[in-house]
Structure 1
Amino acid sequence: MRFDRVRLSNFKCYEDADLRLDVGVTVIHGLNGSGKSSLLEACFFALYGSKALDETLDEVVTIGAEETTVELWFTHDGESYHIRREIRSRDGDARTTKCVLDGEDRTIDGATDVRNFVTELLRMDTEAFLNCAYVRQGEVNKLINADPSTRQDMLDDLLQLGTLEEYRQRASQARVGVGRVRDDKQGALSEVEDQIEAKAEKNLHDRLNDLESEAAEIDCEIDRYEQNREQAVETRDEAEAVLDEYEQKQEELESLESDIDDLREQIGETEREREQLAERIEQRTETLSERRDRRDQLLEGVEQFETVEARAESDDLTREQLDTEIDAVEAEIEEVTDQIREQSVEKQEADSTRESLLESAADLEETATERREEASQLEAELEDAEDNLANKREKVAELTAEIEEIHERFEDAPIAIGEADAHYETVSDDLSTCREQLAERRTELENARERVSEAESLLDAGKCPTCGQPVEDSPHVDALGERRERVSELETAVADLEEREERLETKLERAEDLREREQRAAELEQNRDNIEQILDERESSIDEKRDRIEQLRAQADEDEQAAAEKRDEAAAAEDRVDEITEAIAKRNREHGELKERLEQLEQIDTTLEEIDQLQSDVERFREQRAEKETVNDERRERLAEKRERRDELRETFDETQIERARQQHENATSYLEEVGETLDDLEGQRTELQEQIGAITNELDALEQLRDRRDELTTTVQRLNSLYEEVEQLEETYAQLRAQLRQQNVETLERMLNETFELVYENDTYSHIDLDGSYELTVYQKDGETLDPDQLSGGERALFNLSLRCAIYRLLAEGIEGTAPMPPLILDEPTVFLDAGHVGQLVELIETMRDLGVEQILVVSHDEKLVDAADDLVTVTKDSTTNRSTVERQPARERLLEADD
């Protein structure tokens, strides 16, 4: 497996970073605190999410940002994958809003599902990844510092031996479960045998025969009573038929009586309606006479009709003639109305023309006044502008003098004017570089002082300052002097850098003063140029104002003359308005006379319409009265038919036959009630016997089922005894297999650990390393003496742990059944506890792992020896002003070409 690319947005100190990674050894280089380790943490976070973080989720979001995105492209077992995680932070509460893994043939969505898929794909969870492939800063001694039990669990999980223990525990649980079920079944078998013995003592078959005989006798008696009941039912039904026929005829007779009464009532009601219609006809006739009289009165009050069609006598007047006369009057009204409207429009236009002329005259007079005022104002502004020009000329002279003074001061400066910005940037860069170097030297000095202090403490205790062994016969006694010399060298270097920092700070202050003076000179020159340009513009503006004053006064004279002409035209328009107003009044009088004539004609038309309606009502009421007479004739015929049918039904009734049927029905009903009670008693006795028979039958069936159950339980107990023995053997097999595999892995891991440690360790003091079945580690010296790993010196202990981690990585990569795809080997600041000599051995260890086939090794370090050994170099830098980091990748071939140049 290898990481191909990582892209970050607002992750910790990275605002935007995109880094491609290749096979081989990649060293991530940069100053302390620049963000090197954050790149590896981002890869780890992309794989496992929040489980990979030591801090809370909101702490990975860049300060000031609300959204973070981490993307990782990687290849595993020949297949490419891409993971994208997005985080949103609101008010300190961060949560994952998107997590998607895309493969060549699948897509997985959701943080939990992605983490589970990665765990299954790599065959390791977060903890296993840290224990195998990812050596984080400060955790190089994690395995060696762990107690044997914890180390055993960690390595067993990495080597998948924990699965066998899980299987053994499952087998143990299964064995206990089978034993529990077997005991339950054995108890159930004993209980069934007791139940069978109890039922056999009840003589169930003899009791069943007695009950069946008694039930047969009761069945015969029930049959006799049921035959008698059937005869009684037949008699009752025949009597009911006679009574039903009587009731049907009685109902028909009652219905006929009701129909006869209804017909009489309907005939009477209809006759009353005919009388009402006669009264309404009489009323309409009287009203019709009144309306004719009113029509004659209205016609007498109307002048002679104008149209030919309307000149007939009043008695012969028709609605059509009246409509013609109304249309003629309405046409005259419309014609007069149109004339009034046209004259009103003409008056409005004349009135509007007059108003417009008056407004134009007022506007012209106002414009003339404004122009004369503007001319006066321009004359005053002209005097002020001439005074202002003199002041500006004096200001230009003052600026020129100040600029010349600044130029004179630059004659004694180390730079010429115009070079101040570049000089300031150069001094500022020198000061930043000096401060970075001073921070590195102070960190190295602090680490060196700690090593000397630790060594002096061990020396005072009689132990070697390097390896912690007794001073006698120790090969590392002289190391303390070298460390003290290193502290002295670093103290001198720090003092020199502090002195240089002070000189550069003073130089930076002088450079800043020169830059400010240069900027002031530029501002003054710009102001002088602006004022000179304003002077040119103002002189031109004064001439323009003089011309404008003359022009405004000439235009004011023209406006006043035009206003007088407009007022003359407005007076003529007002005379025309008076003429039109008199004509409109005449037309309005004609319009009123025509409206009055139209109202009279419409009253006549309304009266004629009422006469027509009254004549129509009289005719309609007469027709309705005739129709009701016809309906009553039909009802009288139906009434005669129903009376005849009523008389026929009265003659068919036989009271004697009906009384006999009633008596038979009463006797049969009484017998059925009595025999029903008797049969109910017999049925109850038979039911009780059947229940007893059923109970005994059920007991016999239960006895047979108990015997079948006993046979089944006997077979089940025998099978469970056999299964218990098999599961017990399986549990023992898993335990033995785990012990065998652990021993095989211990032997292989011990061999790989010795090969790796021997390869990178150059001291002849140690013979070999022993790893027992409990993962207890022992270091053997050449003289046969043993040491615990924590008795090694700091650098040796670090190399020992790195060797152990690399050996575990090799074991997992080779696997039990062949090679397996492994994650990149990641080493975060592995040189923290190493001196210069041990760093060289670490380089050899990394080269060895690459030669053994590790496809990708990622190392975070600021050590130059590791940088030289890299195939690819990734440089991380942090901007001190924004506190944001950037990355730059440089392959080894490009670095070699730069070195040759």
Structure 2
Amino acid sequence: MKVDRIRLLNFKCYGEADLGLERGVTVVHGVNGSGKSTLLEAVFFALYGSKALDDRTLDDVITTGEEEAEVELHFTHDGRDYSVERHLKLRGDRASTTKCVLETPTETIEGARDVRREVTELLRMDAEAFVNCAYVRQGEVNKLIHASPSDRQDMIDDLLQLGALEEYRERASDARLGVKTVLDGQREVLENVRQQVEKKETKDLHERLNGLESRRADVDEEIEHFETQREQARNTLETAEDVLERHEETREEIDRLGAEIDDLREKISETEDKREDAKTEIRDLEERRTELAAEREDLLAKVDLRSTEGGDADADADADAVGTRIDELETRDEELRDELEAVRVAITETNGEIERLREEADDLEAKAEQAREEAGDLETKLEADEAAIEDREAKLDDLEAEIDAAREQFEDAPIDFGDTESHLEALEAEREALTDEIGDVTADIRTVENAIEEGEQLLEEGKCPECGQSVEDSPHVNVLDEKREELAALEERLDALEAERDDVDDRIDRAEELREAERRVDRLEENRDNVEQLLAEKRETLADRREQRDRLLEDATEYENDAEAKRTEAADLEESVATKRAELGEINGERGDIRDTLESLRRIAEIDDEREALAAEIETRRERRRDWQTMNDERRETLSNKRERKRDLESEFDEDRVETAREDKQNAEQYLEKVDDKLADLEEKRTNLQNAIGAAERELEELEELRDRLDAVEKRCERLESLYDEAETLQATYADLRSELRQRNVETLERLLNETFELVYQNDSYAGIDLDGEYRLTVYQKDGEPLEPEQLSGGERALFNLSLRCAIYRLLAEGVEGAAPMPPLILDEPTVFLDSGHVTQLVSLVESMRDLGVEQIVVVSHDEELVGAADSLVRVEKDATSNRSRLERGRPPESELLASD
């Protein structure tokens, strides 16, 4: 893989940036805080999105004061072109991704999760694996060395694609335990079902079922007799209810017609009111037309528009004349606008030339001022150099004080300085043992919970109110109580173990703080050595600054003379601009008169349109009045018909027939009430018999179901026993496969690590490096004495770790089945812990990786030796005013050395 181009917009300290990267070694350099590391973070963020931000959020990515940010990355992978683009937007106080697109040679992938998944599959590594192999971030050069053996083992296993095998082994182990839990539960179920089958077989269910069916037949015959008598009573009741219903419908229709008559009267009155309102509106609209006609006459007099045949023009003639005059004036206005534009172009071009001359003069003066300021700055630096030397001597004293302060943390500590690693490993081993025990207790709890749940389900199935068996008689009650007591004891044990693990976690946190104090002492001592070296270098730069100051003063004088000549030429051109501005004023005056006349003429045209609209509105309202008159005529006719219908209905009432129907209805309802009670008793008796029959049939069905279930549970137990054996075999297979593959990779990695370390490390003190199957690293001196990597000096330890990273990179690049395309090798400030001698070896390491075929290496550093060894350079500078970073390409190494201090 090769990064071809990175484009940024409002990304952290960058406003706009666009950088192309070449093959070979590219060094990104600049002063501290200028934004060098941010450029690499942008590449990391483009590939993996929010997973590249550690504990930060998307809000931290967008430049302060801006609301949107963009990152665009173009790269080549396995000979094919790809590009990924991410857009962010700040909404309130939270930022979110508004666009995330990955363009591949075959498809377009959208969405942050899908893009990250595709990049992970493409590179064969996620964000964490990327920083553990290809991207050595600032301050993390010793990450693999400082990691505990177990953490280092997990990191390298994940990079070598072995972590998945451990995950599969753990899944197989979990599956085995889960099968064991289910198997134990099913064995209990098997015994329970067997007992239920034996209990039901002792009952004579078939004989009891025959007696119940005979009694039900007698009840059915009696019910049929009473239902026939009830049907005759119902017919009588329906006839009486029909008479009463028709009587009630007639009364309701009379009431409804009365309400409709009142409603029609009200609607007729409302419509007449609307006709009067429309008459008033028509009068108002006609008055408005008269007012508009008067306004039109006034405007015609103002523009002095008259008929060509003499006398006042009628409305149609005026409208044609207004349109003609508007066209003439608009044509003249167009001509004047063209003339105006020509004069403006001439003025603009001349002003542009004047502005150009003045800008050139300003640039020259600014260059002169800048040169003098730079000379002044150099003078100030020359004066400050001696003071800086004194400050750095004072800084040495401060570093000594900080070293003493860091060591003081061990005065009240439970361990001595230098013993934190072994103490921390012991605590982690204790925590791991507690975690394993917690897992065992949790598995036991799950087993007991499953057994309780299965027992409660069987107990519920055993209830049978029809046959009289009580819940207390169930054989599962005592067993369930014992299981619940066992569950409570296990949960109490789990709480105690978790409390003990929390205490160990607190002790681990304290031990990690002490380990960090040890490492701080190492870093402070290395910083002290660096300050001493910088102090020596500072004393060598004074002569170069004096020579640069004199050259800048000479350049300033030459810039000032050129600026004066430019300003004289600009003054001569200003006189011609004044003449053209007078011509511009005359044209604008004539156009102003035309605009006033056009405004009046256009208003006349608007009045004509408005009067036509008012005339149409008046006609509309007159039409509505005629429609409302017709509507009321129709309503009056309907009103007359409804009054006549109401009088007819009021004459149809027959009170004698209604009274007879009421008596028939009452007699039928009394009989039905009595017969319904009798039938209800019989139905209840039949229902009880049916329920008893159903209970007997259900018990017979349950007996068959229990027999089937007994057979099924026996077969399930057999399958679970077989599955348990298979899971156990699978767990062992994954463990053996991981061990075999790890040994193969360890042998290759050990060879590559020794080749890399021997290639770049020119110290005769070390004979080689040993890497065991658990990725424990041992360095052997020439005399055979073994050393832990932590026993090396800070510079040696950093160089050793870089060699390990490069060896892992080579192993992944070679691949399991042939070469694999890898990301660029990215080193962010790798010289932080290196002295000058180790920097030379780092340069050799970088060159060796390039010679071994790494297509692209990107290094962020301000070290002069690394800058001199680069194939291409990128300089990062930050504007002190805007606090924005910018990029510059390819300055010669010699000029970089002059500007670096």
TM-score (norm 2): 0.53
Give the Cα separation in 1 of the matches to 2:389 and 2:814. 40
**Residue 200 of structure 2: aligned partner:** 199
Q: Out of 759-768 and 824-833, give the one that drifted further.
A: 824-833
**Residue 277 of structure 1: aligned partner:** none
Matched, 1:25 2:25: yes
Give the Cα separation in 2 of the matches to 1:446 and 1:844. 34
**Residue 693 of structure 1: aligned partner:** 693
Note the C-alpha offset of 1:709. Answer: 0.9
Contact 2:34-2:885 within 8 A present in 1 as well: yes
Give the Cα separation in 2 of the matches to 1:705 and 1:119. 53
Structure 2 counterpart of 1:108, which letter? I
Give the Cα separation in 2 of the matches to 1:11 and 1:112. 21
Contact 1:29-1:861 within 8 A present in 2 as well: yes
Give the Cα separation in 2 of the matches to 1:875 and 1:500. 24
**Residue 156 of structure 1: aligned partner:** 157
**Residue 184 of structure 2: aligned partner:** 183
**Residue 853 of structure 1: aligned partner:** 853
Note the C-alpha offset of 1:880. Answer: 5.2
**Residue 721 of structure 2: aligned partner:** 721
Q: Cα deviations across residues 622-669 of structure 1 (Å, max 9, x unaligned)? A: xxxxxxxxxxxxxxxxxxxxxxxxxxxxxxxxxxxxx9xxx9999999
Give the Cα separation in 2 of the matches to 1:526 and 1:426. 25
Contact 1:67-1:86 within 8 A present in 2 as well: yes
Give the Cα separation in 2 of the matches to 1:845 and 1:810. 13
Note the C-alpha offset of 1:822. Answer: 1.6
Note the C-alpha offset of 1:218. Answer: 5.1
**Residue 210 of structure 2: aligned partner:** 209
**Residue 85 of structure 1: aligned partner:** 86
Q: Cα deviations across residues 850-893 of structure 1 (Å, max 9, x unaligned)? A: 23332221122334443444333323344555554332444999
Give the Cα separation in 1 of the matches to 2:683 and 2:573. 133
Give the Cα separation in 2 of the matches to 1:842 and 1:188. 69
Structure 1 counterpart of 2:539, which letter? T
Note the C-alpha offset of 1:134. Answer: 0.7
Cα 1:212–1:80 shift into 2, 3 Å: same
Give the Cα separation in 2 of the matches to 1:201 and 1:504. 119
Give the Cα separation in 1 of the matches to 2:666 and 2:879. 119
Give the Cα separation in 1 of the matches to 2:670 and 2:570. 136
1:490 alignment partner, one of 533, 537, 545: 537
Give the Cα separation in 2 of the matches to 1:90 and 1:775. 47
Q: Cα deviations across residues 712-762 of structure 1 (Å, max 9, x unaligned)? A: 111111111111111122122222222222222222211111111011111
Give the Cα separation in 2 of the matches to 1:822 and 1:784. 36
Structure 2 counterpart of 1:803, which letter? S
Contact 2:82-2:103 within 8 A present in 1 as well: yes
Note the C-alpha offset of 1:523. Answer: 11
Where in structure 2 are the equivalents of 1:14-93 lying within 5 Å? 14-53=14-53, 57-89=58-90
Give the Cα separation in 2 of the matches to 1:88 and 1:818. 43
Contact 2:379-2:549 within 8 A present in 1 as well: no
Q: Cα deviations across residues 358-384 of structure 1 (Å, max 9, x unaligned)? A: xxxxxxxxxxxxxxxxxxxxxxxxxxx
**Residue 599 of structure 1: aligned partner:** none
Cα 1:160–1:188 shift into 2, 3 Å: same
Note the C-alpha offset of 1:792. Answer: 2.3
Give the Cα separation in 1 of the matches to 2:854 and 2:368. 50
Note the C-alpha offset of 1:128. Answer: 1.7
**Residue 759 of structure 2: aligned partner:** 759
Where in structure 2 are the equivalents of 1:627-666 lying within 5 Å? none
**Residue 771 of structure 2: aligned partner:** 771
Contact 1:80-1:104 within 8 A present in 2 as well: yes
Matched, 1:703 2:750: no
Note the C-alpha offset of 1:22. Answer: 2.6
Instruction: Indicate the percent of aligned positions where both proteins have the same amino acid.
Output: 55
Contact 2:8-2:14 within 8 A present in 1 as well: yes
* Secondary structure, aligned partner of 1:857: strand
Any stretches of 5+ residues in structure 2 without a counterpart?
Answer: 248-362, 408-525, 579-659, 896-901
Contact 2:766-2:780 within 8 A present in 1 as well: yes
Q: Cα deviations across residues 657-693 of structure 1 (Å, max 9, x unaligned)? A: xx9xxx9999999999998877766555444333322
Structure 1 counterpart of 2:885, which letter? S
Give the Cα separation in 2 of the matches to 1:105 and 1:879. 42
Structure 1 counterpart of 2:173, which letter? S
Cα 1:436–1:779 shift into 2, 3 Å: farther
Matched, 1:827 2:827: yes
Where in structure 2 are the equivalents of 1:431-470 lying within 5 Å? 431=376
Contact 2:230-2:675 within 8 A present in 1 as well: no
Contact 1:442-1:494 within 8 A present in 2 as well: no
Structure 2 counterpart of 1:186, which letter? R
Note the C-alpha offset of 1:525. Answer: 14
Give the Cα separation in 2 of the matches to 1:438 and 1:720. 87
**Residue 874 of structure 1: aligned partner:** 874
Give the Cα separation in 2 of the matches to 1:427 and 1:194. 106
Contact 1:451-1:483 within 8 A present in 2 as well: no
* Secondary structure, aligned partner of 1:770: strand
Where in structure 2 are the equivalents of 1:738-749 lying within 5 Å? 738-749=738-749
Give the Cα separation in 2 of the matches to 1:745 and 1:5. 34
Note the C-alpha offset of 1:423. Answer: 5.6
Give the Cα separation in 2 of the matches to 1:672 and 1:793. 109
Contact 1:438-1:494 within 8 A present in 2 as well: no
Contact 1:6-1:43 within 8 A present in 2 as well: yes
Note the C-alpha offset of 1:826. Answer: 0.5
* Secondary structure, aligned partner of 2:820: coil
Cα 1:795–1:194 shift into 2, 3 Å: same
Cα 1:111–1:144 shift into 2, 3 Å: same
Matched, 1:135 2:136: yes
Note the C-alpha offset of 1:440. Answer: 11
Cα 1:419–1:31 shift into 2, 3 Å: closer
Give the Cα separation in 2 of the matches to 1:420 and 1:665. 119
Contact 1:753-1:807 within 8 A present in 2 as well: yes
**Residue 102 of structure 1: aligned partner:** 103
Note the C-alpha offset of 1:778. Answer: 0.8
Structure 2 counterpart of 1:20, which letter? G
Structure 2 counterpart of 1:493, which letter? E
* Secondary structure, aligned partner of 1:160: coil
**Residue 838 of structure 2: aligned partner:** 838
**Residue 313 of structure 1: aligned partner:** none
Structure 2 counterpart of 1:155, which letter? I
**Residue 3 of structure 1: aligned partner:** 3
Cα 1:426–1:748 shift into 2, 3 Å: same
Q: Out of 835-844 and 855-864, give the one that drifted further.
A: 835-844
Note the C-alpha offset of 1:811. Answer: 1.6
Give the Cα separation in 2 of the matches to 1:3 and 1:36. 16
Give the Cα separation in 1 of the matches to 2:381 and 2:775. 45
**Residue 798 of structure 1: aligned partner:** 798
Contact 1:8-1:18 within 8 A present in 2 as well: yes
* TM-align CA RMSD: 5.6
Contact 1:34-1:878 within 8 A present in 2 as well: yes
Structure 2 counterpart of 1:14, which letter? Y
Give the Cα separation in 1 of the matches to 2:669 and 2:70. 96
**Residue 591 of structure 2: aligned partner:** none
Cα 1:199–1:123 shift into 2, 3 Å: same
**Residue 607 of structure 1: aligned partner:** none
* Secondary structure, aligned partner of 2:540: helix
Cα 1:213–1:85 shift into 2, 3 Å: closer
**Residue 112 of structure 2: aligned partner:** 111
Contact 2:367-2:559 within 8 A present in 1 as well: no
* Secondary structure, aligned partner of 1:493: coil
Structure 2 counterpart of 1:719, which letter? R
Where in structure 2 are the equivalents of 1:347-496 lying within 5 Å? 424-431=369-376, 489-493=536-540
Give the Cα separation in 2 of the matches to 1:779 and 1:771. 9
Contact 1:171-1:728 within 8 A present in 2 as well: yes
| CA radius of gyration, larger in | 1
Contact 1:448-1:486 within 8 A present in 2 as well: no
